[in-house]
Structure 1
Amino acid sequence: MSFSGTNPFTKTEVATDVLTAEAASWQLIVWNDEVNTFEWVIETLMEVCGHSYEQAEQCSYIIHFKGKYSVKEGMYEDLEPMCNAILERGISATIEELVS
């Protein structure tokens, strides 16, 4: 018996290239200073970044003891208005690319 064509029992692999666009991830850094109170930083993080009281309080302690802390990660376009709002409140903040 002779079969023409492909063997239906043969497994073939098809190589496909998948292109994925990875958006650069950024972090919003808040820096420690000797001017702003814990209460002001906590209130700012709650109002600007949407943190809960507990989360904002923890961030403020880390900022105080470590000198800075990444309070939010995301797309640059999302973090920029938050950074500007924090700066307008007299708190030092920067946006840095997240290094992985």
Structure 2
Amino acid sequence: MGVTGVAAPDVDERLDQRLDARALRPWQTVVWNDPVNLMSYVVYVFRTHFGYSREKATTLMLHVHQDGHAVVAEGAREQMELHARAMHDYGLWATVREVDG
């Protein structure tokens, strides 16, 4: 018991809470620019895999082309890893990162 008579949280309980909070944080799939794939192909991949509209897929492709990368999806880590693997299967360069915050 603490000085005030209230029990301090168990160390394992605090660790579990931090791990749970981290597991719930979103992750991102990032597609990177490369010198190989045509812009029209990247739009096709985004439309085919993610189901994005032509407008959204084109906007994302332009971010990849002009900025060097674009976040194409955000969510649970496992799902983002699946998206990154799918992008690799299409021949695109993709990585997964945890959202800052």
TM-score (norm 1): 0.75
Q: d(CA) in 2 for partners of 1:50 and 1:95?
A: 19
Question: What code does the residue aligned with 1:39 have?
Answer: S
Q: Residue 24 of structure 1: CA displacement?
A: 1.8
Q: Which runs of 5+ in 1 are unaligned?
A: 1-18
Q: Residue 50 of structure 1: CA displacement?
A: 2.1
Partner of 1:83: 84
TM-score (norm 2): 0.74
Partner of 2:73: 72
Q: Which runs of 5+ in 2 are unaligned?
A: 1-16
Partner of 1:14: none
| Greater C-alpha Rg | 1
Q: d(CA) in 2 for partners of 1:78 and 1:70?
A: 14
Partner of 1:42: 43
Instruction: List 4+ stretches of structure 1 deviating above 6 A.
Output: none
Partner of 2:26: 25
- Deviations 1:11-42, CA, capped at 9 Å, x for gaps: xxxxxxxx7x5402101000001110111111
Aligned residues: 82
Q: d(CA) in 2 for partners of 1:75 and 1:50?
A: 18
Q: Residue 53 of structure 1: CA displacement?
A: 1.0
Which protein has the bigger helix share?
2
Secondary structure of 1:96's counterpart equals strand
Q: Residue 99 of structure 1: CA displacement?
A: 0.4
Q: d(CA) in 2 for partners of 1:79 and 1:88?
A: 14
Q: d(CA) in 1 for partners of 2:26 and 2:51?
A: 19
